[in-house]
Structure 1
Amino acid sequence: MKITLDEDKCIGGGQCVMVAPEIFDQRDEDGIGVILDAEPPADQHHAVRQAALVCPAAAIQIQDAD
């Protein structure tokens, strides 16, 4: 799994951080989301998928490994 986050779409809602705090954080200056681990371990995949689902701006994209 590889994660990307479109900073232009992100509205800083913070849901991704609440759902997957080991993978996502927010910038202090504007609240825009940042990815802490773009290729998270398997035990975090469910949380990452949930974070993408609850993102109000649909700013998180997930690419599954082939």
Structure 2
Amino acid sequence: MTKEVIEQAPKEIQLRCWQLIDEKVKQAEVQLVYLQIFEFNRDDQRKTINITHRQEESYHR
């Protein structure tokens, strides 16, 4: 995690990001790479935060 995420993201959101990584590992859906990317989008009407999880594409095979 970057310093900014550690300082600014609530612990509940940080925990959810780790859970998303764990879910991908358990599903054996993809080979995880070092760089995991999370995008956060706040929905003020619904009072929720949508998290999109993806990983950097590896160019080395």
Same fold (TM over 0.5): no
TM-score, reference length from structure 2? 0.31
Bigger Rg, structure 1 or 2: 2
| Structure ranking higher in helix proportion | 2
TM-score (norm 1): 0.30
> Which of 1 and 2 has higher RCO (CA within 8 Å, sep 6+)?
1
